[in-house]
Chains A and B, each alone.
Chain A
Amino acid sequence: GAVVSQHPSRVICKSGTSVKIECRSLDFQATTMFWYRQFPKQSLMLMATSNEGSKATYEQGVEKDKFLINHASLTLSTLTVTSAHPEDSSFYICSAKLTYTQYFGPGTRLTVL
């Protein structure tokens, strides 16, 4: 139980394009989902908290116009990286909250050329 999927697992795009990453809770409903970013050999940094049916809450320093988050249903949250640039290349990981515990997706590796 408590499985979270992400799609795509890997994406390569050109600078200036937008990329959408999907996060789904497969066997439970999640009112709250989270988006993290992880640089190589570093820890996870929380980018934003996504609540179903309301606007996301972004952490300090995260540009909300660049990283668009939509949580349209209790099983799906999406992160869109708009006008991506090479510095946006990273490993993006989502999680979904079930009672007090977060369950993580497998991550999406974004490379911007």
Chain B
Amino acid sequence: GIQVEQSPPDLILQEGANSTLRCNFSDSVNNLQWFHQNPWGQLINLFYIPSGTKQNGRLSATTVATERYSLLYISSSQTTDSGVYFCAVGRGSQGNLIFGKGTKLSVKP
């Protein structure tokens, strides 16, 4: 099956700093989503981005499908950005997603 690797596994930032999270995947996909899991366990949709670039406020994402990677950019980080960021990919018609192991982000005040 498809392998999904996220890096770095852990990231500690000072408030206001910028960061880039990476997601590599081992095969072609037709679905790629980024999620933020908050400390209470809720997964929050950030982007549906199987290809191209999108921006939403301080967050943006780019997926280069031909090179099998996606990047999530967080600018001017805030303490509320803390949590685990997951990349998930899929390629079936059902929409099944395979999750990476996540990047745990801690933003210090």
Contacts and interface: CB of A to CB of B under 8 A. Distances in A.
Interface stretch (A15-23, A67-75, A103-111): A103-111
A104 B43 contact: yes
A49 B43 contact: no
B31, B40, B41, B98: most-surrounded residue (chain A CB, <10 A): B41
A69 B43 CA distance: 22
B68 interface: no
10 contacts: A45-B99, A46-B97, A49-B94, A91-B41, A93-B43, A101-B33, A104-B42, A104-B45, A106-B40, A107-B41
A98 to B, nearest CB: 10
B48 A101 contact: yes
Given A32-B94, A102-B95, A43 B41 contact: no
B102 A100 contact: no
A57 B94 CA distance: 10
Q: How large is the interface on A (under 10, 10 to 19, 20 to 34, 35 or more residues)?
A: 20 to 34
B86 interface: yes
B83 to A, nearest CB: 13
Contacts of A93: 41, 43
Interface residues of B, number: 20
Interface of A is mostly: strand
Interface string B87-98: 010000011111
Contacts of B43: 44, 93, 95, 104
Interface string B30-61: 01010100001111010010000000000000
Among B31, B48, B97, max chain A CB count under 10 A is at B97
Given A100-B48, A107-B41, A32 B95 contact: yes
Contacts of A109: 41
A46 B94 contact: no
Contacts of B86: 43-44
Contact of B96 (A38, A46, A100): A46
Contact of A107 (B31, B42, B45, B94): B42
